[in-house]
Structure 1
Amino acid sequence: MSPDELVYLGVLAGSIPIGLLFRHLSPPGKQGAALLLGLVITIATCWIHSLHSLVTILGTWIIIKCSWRHAPALSLGWTFLYLLFFRLATWFGLPSPTPFANAIQLLLTLKLVSLANEVQSFHLEKKKDVSSFSKSQVIGRLSHEPSLYDVISYSYCYVGLMTGPFFRYQTYADWLQQPSPQSLPCMEPCLQRLRLVPVYAALFLAVNAVFPLAYVLTDDFLEHNFFYRFFYMIAVFFVFRMRFYSAWCGAEAGCMTAGLGCYPEGALSKPGGGPTVQYSPEPGAAVVYDFKTVQNIDCYNTDFCVKVRHGMRYWNMTVQWWLHHYIYPNAPFKAYALRAGWTMLISAYWHGLHVGYYLSFLTIPLCIAAETAMEASVRSRLGPGGQSVFDWIHWFLKMRAYDYMCMGFVLLKAGDTIHYWSTIYFIIHVIAVACLVIGRVAKGKRREKKEGSEGEKQRDEREVKKEDVVREKAE
């Protein structure tokens, strides 16, 4: 493991036991201690680069105070433009930011855009309350506009500071105001979440040692046959998954010990978003709690869901919620595949400027279009047994598509990514295009057949009517 990875590991491991202490603090004490700890982590790992996050926070706060009505769009533009400046800092003679500063900046961008949307919603609902003389029933509505201290405290809260998960300001405010945090579940969900982390970590270390990424770029790699080169991306994506499974499960455990994101099951919470319904348990009734709000990974469904589009739902789930609520609805397209492409483009930009991100993320819409075409034209014609076989083949191709796209995500450079893809003859792109063409052709033939059968039916009806007319005349 690299020194940076050891620091991440230390932050993750330390946040789990520290979270237990926050259950004993009052709301002001909890807010101040979480802020202080977050600032210590930020300054210790980022040093002078901590100013990037502070400037971003102050800029967003000024936007919210000056124009809450346009804050969502303005904050998105501000934070994303600052991301560009942050990544091109060396062009302006500034020192290159540390990886830790980059991680904090990424999560901060999500938080501040979400905050601007929450503040806008607060003001709009407040106006409705005044005009209708009734209290709004919007789920997760803010009770007041956050102060500058609140915004800074939320932004630098130590929970998920560098590793996620993303959570809304309302989730943070609910955490501060928990009436009896010590009575909420803690150790059982935490241990349940951590039970497979040693397995993930061991697999990560073992497989990474046997299949190092750097070997792909050597001349020796090209001497192996196609099947070895093809299998290598499967091993690389496996290492990639094990790494993030370990990190995100550990990050969720840190939220659990602190009690962040703990809501009754009846609130039907969503990862990233929090409760979706108003839930008031009956007096004296036992309440079951969950941590769905801070769930960032569903390891089983990531591996075993069938479709490419579903695979995105179970990976980095809180960020997917953010993209779905703040980017996807505002896409300048109506078609699902194009909207997905726009969302993936924004996601790629959020991750960084490396071309490998864009090559990977923009392959997803092609895969989605291909699977949609095949489902509509092929799967829909099959019986239960045929559909089961179709789904297994679909799952296999889905996993290979993610293996393929992962190579762009880890190799980063355009030349390195295209070089590797060329060694396996761009096979996933070829299969996706072939499936798309086959699906469209089959759908067209099906439509022609359907139109033909309808035409024959209409002709038969006309013949029957003619025979009836002739019969009536004869009678």
Structure 2
Amino acid sequence: MWSFFLKNKNDIIYLSLLLFSVIIGPYYRKLGPVDFKKLVGSLLGIGLIFIVSGYNAAHPIFSALFGITAIKFTSIKTCHVFTFFFMFGYLMVFRLTNHFSSKGPSGQTNLIEMIIVLRVVGVAFEINGSWLAMIESRKKEKNPTEKESESQPARDDDFVEFINPSFVDLFHYCFNYIGLLTGPYYRYRTFDDYFNLPYSKYVDCLSFTINTLKTVPLYISLYLALSNIWPLEYILTEDHNQRHFLYRMMYPWLLFAAFRQRIYSGMTLAESVCTSAGLGAYPVQGRNRSGHGPTVGYLNLKKMPEREARVAKYDFKTVESMDVWGCETVVTLRDSMKVWNKAVQYWVAVVVYKRFPVPELKIHAALFVSVIWHGYQAGYFFCIYFCPFYLMAEDIYVRLYYKDATGIKKKIIGFIMWFLRSHSESYQAVAFLLLSFDRIWIYYTSMHHYWYVVWFAFLVLGIILNKVRNILNPGIRTPYVRTRVHAQ
């Protein structure tokens, strides 16, 4: 037992801190007044950083303070650009410290720094984006074109009001303990609403938290079982190479299954920190979206009287990171990406994909930022940057065979595509777990790089089948390249 604790000491401490954050949620939710509540949340957050990081706590604290200082002392036109490059530049330097010191930052400190980057860069883009949106709104008011339909409410724009928090509010947003350890990412608007709108007083936080937490023991048990029976390091051994090829081909499924359980447990606990404190609760009529919050009638929701807020129906979709059932059952890789770490996917979409100035390079920019946010190791590039190549082939077969299929035929094709999607994710996940290029190359070489050959063959065959279909059915043109990956 003691050896197990020593081996997993950092993970156990991290898990304990997440559970502590869940337990104190109901007490924190009842605090008042607002300024005192914000201060307590920030002190708790900074305390968690020091417990996890020790003297390395200087990294997330310094980067956050410098980032929010840059936001307030640079032009609103350029604050987002400067902040983006500083925060990601510091993130890279922060990770390189491990090469110069045996006591470099732990993986848990790295997670905190990653969340700090999302918050600081995200709020800078919120400020700039809301400013641009207000300018555009005034132009439309001066030159109205056509009236909006009143029969059905239109979806809100990304920004419906100007956002310009003070330095103190930015400080509290960056360091509040809710979501600081491992997410989920939420906008500054969501943070501000938590303190100024009545929703957290009337939502049934306990029921949501229990419902969220009930599967965590299962995830942790599965992770411990799978990771101990089928360890990662085994795939680099000679004994593994002597196994039957079918065994070696399916071994990554077990590795990725263990990895998923670890992610599910961490993300679910992180969501529970939000639900126990009430952050991210909005009335369901807002058609809430992960990371974003209400997408319809936001300004009307802010004006909701107390009597209506008391009886409203709420959800926590704003802080939902993982759709676990979706991750296990969706048919295509494209759909799998939409239900995996949804809050971060949202951040990448609104900060990088939508704002990148060169349309042809949007997808590459989004993928590159996603890679460097995770780390600079080769494994992240192998895992994330190879997704579009599989998607190119997948999209062809979806349009040719799956999209218009019905009945048993659709189920059979769907199962085949689910198997291929799952196998592709497992094969890529090995690179994500091995990280270094030499280890990845040793493993993939032992497997003869077979899955990349399969990808290429599927793509070539799909292009040929697509062209044959277009020739035989000249009235139907089926495009085979679709590049929108991160935007949701």
Normalised-by-shorter TM-score class: 0.7 to 0.9
Partner of 1:12: 18
1:48-87 pair list within 5 angstroms: 48-65=55-72, 66-87=74-95
TM-score in terms of structure 2 length: 0.85
Residues 359-407 of structure 1 deviation map (CA, whole Å, 9 limit, x = unaligned):
1112211110010122234446866543332221001100111111110
- Check if 1:411 corresponds to 2:434: yes
Cα contact 1:167–1:318 (8 A) shared by 2: yes
Q: Is the 8 A contact 1:378 1:439 kept in 2?
A: no
* CA distance in 1: counterparts of 2:266 and 2:103, whole angstroms: 28
CA contact (8 A) 1:90 1:96 kept: yes
Q: Trace 1:137-216 onto structure 2 (pairs within 5 A).
A: 141=160, 145-179=164-198, 181-216=200-235
Q: Distance in 1 between matches of 2:41 and 2:339?
A: 28
Are 2:258 and 1:239 equivalent residues in the alignment? yes
Aligned to 2:352: 327
Q: Secondary structure at the match of 1:275?
A: coil
Match of 2:342 among 317, 334, 343: 317
- What is the aligned counterpart of 1:96 among 94, 101, 104? 104
Who wins on radius of gyration, i.e. which is larger?
1
Q: Distance in 1 between matches of 2:98 and 2:405?
A: 57
Amino acid at match of 1:415: D
Counterpart CA distance in 1 for 2:314 and 2:346 is: 21
| CA deviation profile, 1:420-443 (whole Å, cap 9, x unmatched) | 223333232122111110111111
Q: Secondary structure at the match of 1:353?
A: coil
- Aligned mates of 2:276, 2:107 — CA distance in 1: 26
C-alpha separation between the residues in 1 aligned to 2:238 and 2:380?
Answer: 24
Q: Secondary structure at the match of 1:161?
A: coil
When structure 1 is superposed on structure 2, of 69-78 and 117-126 the one drifting more is 117-126
Please name the residue that 1:364 is paired with: 387
Secondary structure in structure 1 of the residue aligned to 2:312: coil
Q: Counterparts of 1:325 and 1:80 in 2: how far apart (Å)?
A: 17
CA contact (8 A) 2:88 2:117 kept: yes
Kindly indicate whether the alpha-carbon contact (under 8 Å) linking 1:118 and 1:141 is maintained by their aligned counterparts in 2. no
**Distance of 2:121 and 2:194 partners within structure 1:** 20
SS of equivalent residue, structure 1 residue 52: helix
Normalising by structure 1, we get a TM-score of 0.88
- Tell me, in whole angstroms, the C-alpha distance in 2 between the residues paired with 1:356 and 1:168: 29
Deviation of 1:51 (Å): 2.1
CA distance in 1, matches of 2:161, 2:100: 39
Identity in percent: 29
Of 394-403 and 70-79, deviating more is 70-79
- Partners in 2 of 1:401 and 1:239 — Cα distance? 16
Q: Helix, strand or coil: the match of 1:88? A: helix
| Cα distance between partner residues in 2 of 1:109 and 1:174 | 21
User: What is aligned with 2:128?
Assistant: 120
Aligned pair partner of 1:376 in 399, 407, 427: 399
- Cross-structure match for 1:445: 468
**Separation (CA, whole Å) in 1 of partners of 2:96 and 2:215:** 39
Deviation at 1:453, TM superposition (A): 12
| Structural RMSD (CA) | 2.6
Q: Which residue in the other structure is 1:24 paired with?
A: 30
Q: Displacement, 1:447? A: 2.4
1:93-114 Cα shifts (integer Å, max 9, x gaps): 7962232321111011111111
- Structure 2 residue identity aligned to 1:51: A
Q: Which amino acid aligns with 1:104?
A: I
In the alignment, the residues of structure 2 paired with residue 31 and residue 347 of structure 1 have an alpha-carbon distance, to the nearest angstrom, of 30
TM-superposition CA deviations, 1:7-31 (whole Å, max 9, x none): 1101111111100101211211210
After superposition, residues 287-302 of structure 1 pair within 5 angstroms as: 287-302=312-327
Change (3 A) 1:228 1:116: same
Partner amino acid, structure 2, of 1:100: Q
Partners of 2:441 and 2:115 in 1: CA distance: 29
Query: Partner residue of 2:4?
Result: none
**8 Å Cα contact 1:122-1:144 kept in structure 2:** yes
Instruction: Please tell me whether residue 255 in structure 1 is matched to residue 274 in structure 2.
Output: yes
Contact 1:139 1:277 in 2 (8 A): no
1:412–1:183 CA distance, 2 compared to 1 (3 A): same
Question: 2:100, 2:246 → 1: CA distance?
Answer: 46
- Answer whether contact 1:374 1:435 (CA < 8 A) is retained: no
Maintained 8 Å contact 1:24/1:181 = no
Structure 1 distance, partners of 2:246, 2:102, is 46
The answer to whether structure 1 residue 394 and structure 2 residue 417 are counterparts is yes
Q: How big is the shift at 1:87?
A: 1.5
Structure 1 partner of 2:377: 354
Deviation at 1:210, TM superposition (A): 0.5
State the shift of 1:127 in Å: 5.0
For 1:2, give the aligned amino acid.
Answer: N
What is the aligned partner in structure 2 of residue 33 from structure 1?
40
What SS does structure 1 have at the residue aligned with 2:354? Answer: helix
Change in Cα spacing, 1:209 to 1:93, as seen in structure 2 (3 Å) is: closer
The residue number in structure 2 matching 1:471 is none
Native 8 Å contact 1:341 1:364 kept in 2: no
Contact 1:165 1:295 in 2 (8 A): yes
Distance 1:380 1:311, change over 3 A: closer
SS in 2 for 1:405: helix
Q: Is the 8 A contact 1:272 1:321 kept in 2?
A: yes
User: 2:54 — aligned with what?
Assistant: 47
Cα distance change, pair 243–383 in 1 and its aligned pair in 2 (3 A): closer
CA distance in 2 between counterparts of 1:94 and 1:148 reads 36
Residues 452, 60 of structure 1: CA spacing in aligned structure 2 closer, same or farther, 3 A cutoff?
closer
C-alpha spacing 1:180/1:238, structure 2 compared with 1 (3 Å): closer
Contact 1:262/1:293 (CA < 8 Å) preserved in 2? yes
- Note closer, same or farther for the CA distance 1:43–1:141 as it changes in structure 2 (3 Å cut): farther
Taking a change above 3 Å as real, the CA distance of residues 79 and 452 of structure 1, as seen in their structure-2 partners, is: closer
